[in-house]
Amino acid sequence: MSPRFPCAGLRALHAPTRRDFLFGLGASIGSVALTSLLARDLRAAAPGADGRPLAARAPHHRARARNCIFLMMEGGPSHIDTFDPKPRLSRLHLQEFTREGKMKSAMESGKRYYVQSPFTFRRAGQSGAEIATNWEHLARVVDDLCFYRGCQVDSVNHPTAMYQMNTGNRFGGDPALGSWVTYGLGSVNQDLPGFIVLPEVSYPQGGAPNWGNGFLPAHFQGTPLRPSGSPILDLAPPAGVTREQQQANLDLLGRLNAAHQAGRAAHEELAARTSAYELAFRMQLQVPGILDLGQEDARTRASYGIGQGATDAFGRKCLLARRLVERGVRFVQLYAGTWDSHDYIERAHGNLVRAVDQPIAALIADLKQRGLLDETLVVWCGEFGRSPDNGVRGGTAYGRDHNPKAMTVWLAGGGVNAGHTIGATDEIGAEAVDCVHHVRDLHVTLLHLLGLDDNRLTYFHGGRFKQLSQFGGTVIKELLA
Amino acid sequence: MPAQRRSPALCPATCAIALLALTPASAGDPRPSAPADSRTAEQLFAREVLPLLQAKCLACHGRDEAKIKGGLDLRTREAASAGGDSAKPAIVPLQPDASPLYLAVTRSHADWEPMPPKANDALTARQVEHVRTWIAGGAPWPDDTQRAAILAESEKWTKDEGIRVPTSGGLSAGWTDRRYPPADLWAYQPLRKPPVPAVPVPATSPADAAPNPIDAFIHARLATAQLPPAPRADRRTLLRRVTFDLTGLPPTPEEIAAFVSDPAPDGAAFASVIDRLLESPHYGEQMARHWLDIVRYADTSGFANDFARGNAWRYRDYVVRSFNADLPYDRFIREQIAGDELAPANPEAIVATGFLRMGPWELTGMEVPRIARQRFLDDVTDSVGQVFLAHPLQCARCHDHKFDPVPTRDYYALQAIFATTQLAERPAAFLPNENTTGFEEKRLIEARLAHYRAILRRLDEKSITAARAWYAAKQLDPARFEKALAGTTGRKNARGRDAGYTEVRAALLRQGLPEDQVPPRHAGFTTEDYGLERIARKGLERLRWELDRYEPIALAVYSGRTPALSSVLAPLRPPADPHTQGELEATAILTGGDPFSPGAPVVPAMLSAPTSLGDMPPELARAPAEIAGRRTALAAWLASPQNPLPARVIANRVWLWHFGRGLAGNPNNFGVNGRKPTHPELLDWLAATLIERGWSLKALHRLILNSATYARSSSHPQPSLVTERDPHGTLHAVFAARRLAAEELRDASLAVSGELNRTLGGIPVRPEINREAALQPRQVMGTFAEAWQPSPQPEQRHRRSLYALRIRGQPDPFMEVFNAPNADLSCETREASTVTPQVFALFNSEASLARAVAWAERLRRETASRPAAVQRAFALAFGRAPTPAELQQSLAHWEAMNRRHVSLAIERPARPREVIREAVDENTGEKFTFVEPLEAADAFLPDRHLGDLPAEFRGLADLCLVLLNTNEFAYLD
């Protein structure tokens, strides 16, 4: 087995330094060998090509979208203050609110009051979708969105609700949606992970299990590309170790492994491990280039709000997400937050909307302009919505608590019923009342759009065939075009 | 397999049944012409078709009236005949091929969506045939009485119709009376020691060894398959294999030399090696690693807070001690289940009950307390099922088990055992054999406490200043404020912290002042201050859990009434009066698993099937209704030699630990869906022998390891013959090579580099993990978790991986990429898949480089020439000498790399003393930064660095890095 790695042409390029792999404009390794990437795409497109776990596989049925960009608004954005106006709350503002019953938790102790939204609303686009006016940019692409107000989850607490939204199981440990999708479909680009996560600087509650592979093989784990420092841990060798040195070490490693393998032909894992070193070396060279947003023109960067204080961070993630799906990464999940505005919701949600509004609008428009929106499913949601009431703490703090019974989710892209608002919550936004579905049905619907049947996308573990929806669910037909 | 369908794919599969409806005109329906056939069809309905409908259809078509799909109710003939939303007849009596119900279950008809929708629920060919025969026989639907009469004839059933399992009873008669193929009930059969097959001694056994019954069982199957086994592995390979297996560490070159040159015959020489290793204290560590995978050990509680479990380490060390002392396995069970009840005065027994606390759990103010309590009960019930009985029980939480003979009544009866089990961090004196060194690290926590207190004091002063300004600006009299302030200063608040501005405000509000007459909450705060206040306040809360680590406290339980808790933000101490305060929980079947939907009450009891099928004395299966003693009864039932499951379960696990795969392929699941044992007689023989030898696990290891089966080579002279005659690799014709587990890989690196600190037990240590992961900000409830600060001393950091602090929300990325399991799920078998990030972790990491440097330095010290250094390196890494080609390549590499290093300036990376965190404050949604001090950095002694090596040895460090990455290092033959 030759220990040489097929990257001779790239070796001349200067080595990126360890700490400069920002999603930034700084790192520049020039254009990666895109043609070779594309050539590999075609090879991999054959279902089950050479038995690699990430090889692209045929969907169960005709897919409406090939890739997914999942915008995870961690912390629980308030539907009442974004996409589901409740004018009645203005009339009830600061009247006492009571909730009784078994589901009472300590969160609801003390006096509670109805809280009106500090935001104003308007109808936007030809569809006339009702959105808060501070979503200035999203208003431009609102006709591409399908708002869904009927989703409910089980958990009132962050990590369990996050786990449920991400994995279907409140208690963690199960594979994330992105893991199931890459397990079902593989990925087009064999040089990158099929499921990539762009987390906030600080990891969300519940941590890495939010993108864990659970009981699925490790190949389907979400790989976080960290927004600062090395995007993938140890992607580059320690300071002082040069590329040439590394190449020389790899050459010797290849020779020693080849000699060892020679007497163990039946042991296939050994060869697989040797290939992993080759792939790692390719990734090490290519990832920095893909992350280099300097390859995009200035107008595109500006459209995502890159370079402006408020929008820069999420703008970079959105633009990177587009670059990743463009290169055949199957599933990209972006985090923004925290939307957990128990107090001062006007300021907190105001700032968050400012941070994500322009980048998201630019992402939708950019995907559309490049013809990618039709084949990309975009999902926006949090782990739950927020309550119409709050404990008024100290007399000045207006905010909202967690609400698993009502939230807004929106979808855009391939196969979704764009330009429509589906489902409804009651007149104070406390509970979904129309087209009400458990989050498992949302999961089944997302899989369906991606060409996967939740009932067939199963994995045997713990004595039964497990599935994302846990026990089966139904497609929410109203969300489909 | 379902074929392509013409019906639109967009229609959810489950809605297709809505089109089905039974023929409404059953009254006056002409009965099928042949009475004999009809009789058969009626029997078929009662025995097969109705149970099938119940198992596969009623979940959506009748069981829950609120959730009936498509309006079709299949519970009774009348309801079914009323049809669903469509009038299309579902069953055309006598004509299965015109009956949509039949066509749907065939899953291959163009017009009908396959039913049941889930592919894995598909009917077997035999079941489909039953449906067909029943319809062809006129689709009769005998009533309850007729069915009872038919079922009463069950004694006459032939064996292939299955065995009825006596249980506490299902929710329906159909479930209670259902039949199981005998093969599915293998694990419940009373454990009898089977005779050893009389086959010739395998040719690969050492001449001096006594015939090993294990080889006879294995060889009997090989002989049937006409597959000759691989020859015995050479001594070097065997020693490396068995040393890793029993200790998780590589053999030293000296141990290899001694074994290879031992003049004793193969069998005797190897037997004495096995004896030596079983007496090594590292044996207990390696077995503990396996056990902790199963019980989900971690040092934190998971979920939103991920609070420290300061004393979990004492349970971990209890496990190590138990294996090392060869604690009889039945006693190991008893202590973990009911140590506190059995020996309340023995701290060891209290510590052992940490087992019951291993699952993730917390109660935050956000959660409904009843639900959190139920989470504990469900977790511990399922955990006992998986760990000791190889039965995942969570399926039976919501309904009678779909596959196994576990009615939901059994589940809640078992759960009732734990209804009086309460969580506590209990006092338990340190034992002389516990490692209680290193407690001085507590000063780092005290430094952090002081840091947080100083922040709060400063913010308090800021608010007081701002409040005074507020009074001045509002032209209000501050007298009451100043009086309240004076009255508060120096006091403690309800949470034991210094009272301050918050308490002053509260006092003023209590005086009845309106809000606008009281200075605002958080007066004078900037965005940053909001974040800091929260971080300091929550930080103090979090550290209380850490302080427990150095106290004689055990993560444990007690028996008592359930206390009323609204949130748990500090360790729970047992109450003085556990039998009077709180609720005495009455357990009932929870409908759909919902704690607010209690159904029929249950009394504490054991699972039915092992008791009834295993011929256990029924009195063993009962538990007292009193508060105390329930777990004692469970422990006695689990540890009874008459219980058919636990001995089989542990024997299978021990086999797995040596062969990489259990005789039964799912060590946590011996139920219908678990893989059946490949050598059931051998498993029974091992389990029976274990009991016979006083439940000694060391005796079991000795038996297994001294077999010829264990000593086989991993290479077969005729690999194609193996592929052909043993396609699933279950016959043990060759030994299955395996990759080292994550911990073994790290520990072996430390062992060869000479850095490994072999101290046993004690408080968890913090090795250096990837620096960016260590400093990665991580949200926990209301704040950010503390950074991972490596232990200051190298010898602390270089302890075995077993002792590394395990934080559920912050796994060591190295462990994670090498398939260490997530601590939330019981892990029955380690995965060993190859993924790319493994390369980054092993080839690019600072840790690997540090090992390589230390190793090179060791070689420099221990050898006098370059060839000698390379030879020593190969001996340490692989236990063999390099081939001439390898020696030459290695020397050349060393020299070439040295040349590169001449021109390289190597700077030691500076260690940060603090980390600046950027975060989004939840109050304001604005970004803010704060500084987290890294207290451990002051005393930190770094590992040896490349720059510390003389330049002519830096090339050797490169060679060492390569050796650490080789397949030969990472795999065991």
User: Over chain B, what is the mean pLDDT?
Assistant: 89
Alpha carbon distance B731, B219 (integer Å)? 9
Give the closest residue to B165 by CA, choosing from B150, B180, B147: B180
Alpha carbon distance A411, A416 (integer Å)? 7
Residue B68 has pLDDT above 80, yes or no: no
pLDDT-derived band at A20 (thresholds 50, 70, 90) equals very low
Distances (CA, A) of A385 to A161, A412, B305, B688: 11, 19, 21, 57
Could you say which of B118, B403, B822 has the minimum Cβ distance to residue A173?
Answer: B822
pLDDT-derived band at B23 (thresholds 50, 70, 90) equals very low
Q: Quote the pLDDT of residue B101.
A: 86
Residue B516 has pLDDT above 70, yes or no: yes
| B844 to A234: CB separation less than 8 angstroms, yes or no | yes
* A254 in any annotated domain: yes
Q: How many Cβ pairs within 8 Å bridge chains A and B?
A: 319
Q: Quote the pLDDT of residue A397.
A: 54
Touching A: B residues 432-461, CB under 8 Å: none
Write the DSSP symbol of residue B31: P
Residue A313 has pLDDT above 60, yes or no: yes
Number of domains, chain A:
1
| B893 to A252: CB separation less than 8 angstroms, yes or no | yes
Quick: pLDDT tens for B521-531. Answer: 889 998 889 88
Residue A199: both structure tokens together: 């987390």
Q: Quote the pLDDT of residue B649.
A: 98
The residue type at A16? P
List of chain B residues whose C-beta atoms are within 8 Å of the C-beta of residue A458: 118-120
Higher pLDDT, B365 or B688: B688
Quick: pLDDT tens for A139-152. Answer: 999 999 999 999 99
Residue B296: both structure tokens together: 């989900």
Which residue from A minimizes the CA distance to B882? A256
Q: Quote the pLDDT of residue B808.
A: 92
Lowest mean pLDDT among A152-161, B157-166, B842-851: B157-166
Give the closest residue to B303 by CA, choosing from B366, B392, B381: B366
Dump the DSSP string for B828-873: SS------HHHHIIIII-HHHHHHHHHHHHHHHHH-SSHHHHHHHH
Alpha carbon distance B452, A93 (integer Å)? 38
Alpha carbon distance A326, A315 (integer Å)? 17
Q: Quote the pLDDT of residue A105.
A: 60
pLDDT-derived band at B120 (thresholds 50, 70, 90) equals confident
pLDDT-derived band at B352 (thresholds 50, 70, 90) equals very high
| B367 to A105: CB separation less than 8 angstroms, yes or no | yes
* A62 in any annotated domain: yes
Strands A195-198 and A424-425: unpaired
Higher pLDDT, B332 or B835: B332
**Which of B522, B810, B817, B967 should one mutate to test binding to chain A, selecting the residue with the greatest count of A CBs within 10 A?**
B967
Distances (CA, A) of B330 to A230, B334, B459, B631, B697: 50, 6, 57, 14, 10
Chain A: give the shortest CA distance to residue B522, in Å: 9
Higher pLDDT, B491 or A30: B491
Q: Does B517 touch chain A (CB under 8 A)?
A: no
List of chain A residues whose C-beta atoms are within 8 Å of the C-beta of residue B819: 218
| B303 to A269: CB separation less than 8 angstroms, yes or no | no
| B840 to A240: CB separation less than 8 angstroms, yes or no | no
Quick: pLDDT tens for A362-392. Answer: 999 999 999 999 999 999 999 999 999 887 5
How many CB atoms are located within 10 Å of the residue B236 CB?
17
Contact B536, B450 (CB under 8 A): no
Quick: pLDDT tens for B789-805. Answer: 999 999 999 999 999 99
Share of residues in chain A with pLDDT > 90 (%) = 56
Which residue from A minimizes the CA distance to B379? A171
Dump the DSSP string for B92-148: -TT-GGG-HHHHHHHT--SSS--SSSSGGGPPPHHHHHHHHHHHHTT-----HHHHH
List of chain B residues whose C-beta atoms are within 8 Å of the C-beta of residue A239: 907, 909
In the three-class reduction of DSSP (H, G, I as helix; E, B as strand; rest coil), residue B277 is classed as: helix
Quick: pLDDT tens for B376-423. Answer: 999 999 999 999 999 999 989 989 998 899 999 999 999 999 999 999
Length of chain B: 973
Give the closest residue to A382 by CA, choosing from A316, A442, A430: A442
List of chain A residues whose C-beta atoms are within 8 Å of the C-beta of residue B365: 105-107, 109
Q: Where are the beta strands (DSSP E) in A233-337?
A: 331-337
- The model carries a pTM of 0.82
Whole-angstrom Cα Rg for chain B? 33
Which residue from A minimizes the CA distance to B739? A269
Alpha carbon distance B745, B737 (integer Å)? 15
List of chain B residues whose C-beta atoms are within 8 Å of the C-beta of residue A343: 922-923
Chain A: give the shortest CA distance to residue B118, in Å: 4
Chain A: give the shortest CA distance to residue B594, in Å: 12
Alpha carbon distance B343, B326 (integer Å)? 19
Q: Does B811 touch chain A (CB under 8 A)?
A: yes
**Which of A5, A103, A105 should one mutate to test binding to chain B, selecting the residue with the greatest count of B CBs within 10 A?**
A105
Domain that holds residue A259: 8-433+449-479
Chain A: give the shortest CA distance to residue B34, in Å: 40
Q: Quote the pLDDT of residue A22.
A: 31
Residue B192 has pLDDT above 70, yes or no: yes
